[in-house]
Amino acid sequence: FGLNHSWRIPLALITVLAIGIMNFFENKVGAIFSVITTIAKMIPIAVITICGICWGQQDAINQTVAEVSQHTSNFGVAVLATLFGYDGWILIANLGGEMKNPQKLLPRAIIAGITAVLAIYTLITIGIFRFIPANQIHQLGENTTTYLANAVFGAIGGKILSIGIIISMMGTLNGKMLTFPRIVYAMAKRGDLPFSKYLAYVTPKGKSPVVATLFIVLLALLMMIFFDPDHLSDLCVFTVYCFYLLAFFGIFILSKKNKAERPFSTPLYPFVPIIAILGGLFVLISELINDPAGVLLFAGIVIIGLPIFYAVKRMNKHRLY
């Protein structure tokens, strides 16, 4: 929109603060906002996909690229960059405690959500391949979708696409803001964090964890000020996959502990968790090889939390006695 580059960080900070304040209200407000942003971002995606598939004259799927650039990054790092788009499955899991009948609803929501995302990405890719030759896609790089938007919508196509992307990011941010404070709240309720008494506070009417939300907003603001956003997103995905990997291993532990009665059984056990573990290891090893310094930094940030966690647990234990 022609804004100076210096507006980048202030606008990002304002957006995070605004979404954070919106989540001080009851969950219904954030849920409605998520529905609105999902519908709004799907409109330009649907138009681009339909126009590309129905009126595109190219067949980039069966074409070859004449010249391929050499990059130092590997396939695993390329996969890592896309995983953020599929991260909604864990967000819905974090809300499981506030659902009625999560045993049925959670699997359905996760399977339907990931399937929808896969289908949408596949369809828009086919639309692009039908509309633009392979060599041109290679030359345009990350500007491919903007080029297609301009071809479909005319001169304002890029702006329409930008608005769709902004709405999409705000929807994603709202989803994170709905769920991440719930993790802090759940840990604080068990007394696992410093200042647990305050972090476990929820509003009497809306039952929103406002102090935990403020804490998450503060962490986000600090990271946005001091880190490069592209590097930050890769390292955040790497870090969260460390915990996903622990969760995947945890399935085997829970299976042994809860042999008699369990609320949910993993389909095709043990093949599903084994595939998940192998996929997670592939992502982690790829990023470790590509960016060892960044991995060590973020691993260090996580490890710093361990002595704090054990110190808080010890203090709570002494209080009980």
Length of the chain: 321
Final residue belonging to a domain, choices 178, 203, 224: 224
**Cα-only R_g, the chain:** 22
| 235 and 216, same domain (yes or no) | no
Final residue belonging to a domain, choices 189, 205, 224: 224
Structural contact between residues 18 and 173, judged by C-beta atoms closer than 8 angstroms: no
Structural contact between residues 213 and 181, judged by C-beta atoms closer than 8 angstroms: yes
pLDDT of residue 320: 55
Rounded to whole angstroms, how far apart are CA atoms 134 and 141? Answer: 11
Q: How many Cβ atoms from other residues are within 10 Å of residue 288's Cβ?
A: 15
| 199 and 311, same domain (yes or no) | no
Q: How many Cβ atoms from other residues are within 10 Å of residue 177's Cβ?
A: 21
- 75: which 2 tokens? 């396939």
pLDDT by residue for the chain (321 residues), tens only, comes to 778 888 888 998 999 999 998 888 877 787 788 888 888 888 878 888 888 888 877 777 777 766 666 555 567 667 776 777 777 777 777 777 777 888 888 888 888 888 888 898 888 888 888 888 888 888 887 788 778 888 777 778 778 878 888 888 888 888 888 888 888 888 888 888 888 888 888 888 777 888 999 999 998 899 888 888 777 777 777 888 888 899 899 989 888 887 767 777 788 888 999 999 998 898 888 888 887 888 888 888 888 888 888 888 788 776 655
Give the single-character DSSP code of 193.
S
pLDDT of residue 66: 64
| 216 and 250, same domain (yes or no) | no
| 217 and 252, same domain (yes or no) | no
Rounded to whole angstroms, how far apart are CA atoms 248 and 284? Answer: 14
Total number of domains constituting the chain: 2
pLDDT of residue 192: 84
Alpha carbon of 106 to those of 31, 96, 112, 243, 249: distances in Å?
16, 7, 10, 19, 20
Give the single-character DSSP code of 155.
T
| 132 and 100, same domain (yes or no) | yes
Helix (H, G, I), strand (E, B) or coil at 2: coil
Ordered alpha helix ranges (H), 132-156? 134-140, 144-153
| 241 and 99, same domain (yes or no) | no
Q: Which of 29, 83, 120 is nearest to 239 (CA)?
A: 83
Rounded to whole angstroms, how far apart are CA atoms 172 and 34? Answer: 8
| 241 and 267, same domain (yes or no) | yes
Rounded to whole angstroms, how far apart are CA atoms 283 and 285? Answer: 6
Please report where in the chains the tokens 């045993």 appear, as a residue.
103
**Beta carbons within 8 Å of 130's beta carbon, 6+ residues apart:** 52, 53, 56, 57, 58, 59, 60
Exposed / middle / buried, residue 241 (Cβ in 10 Å: 0-12, 13-18, 19+): buried
Rounded to whole angstroms, how far apart are CA atoms 201 and 120? Answer: 39
Rounded to the nearest 10°, the torsion over CA 4, 5, 7, 13 is: 160
Structural contact between residues 196 and 66, judged by C-beta atoms closer than 8 angstroms: no
Domain that holds residue 263: 227-321
| 193 and 255, same domain (yes or no) | no
Ordered alpha helix ranges (H), the chain? 8-22, 27-55, 75-82, 88-94, 102-131, 134-140, 144-153, 157-189, 196-199, 210-226, 229-257, 271-290, 292-320
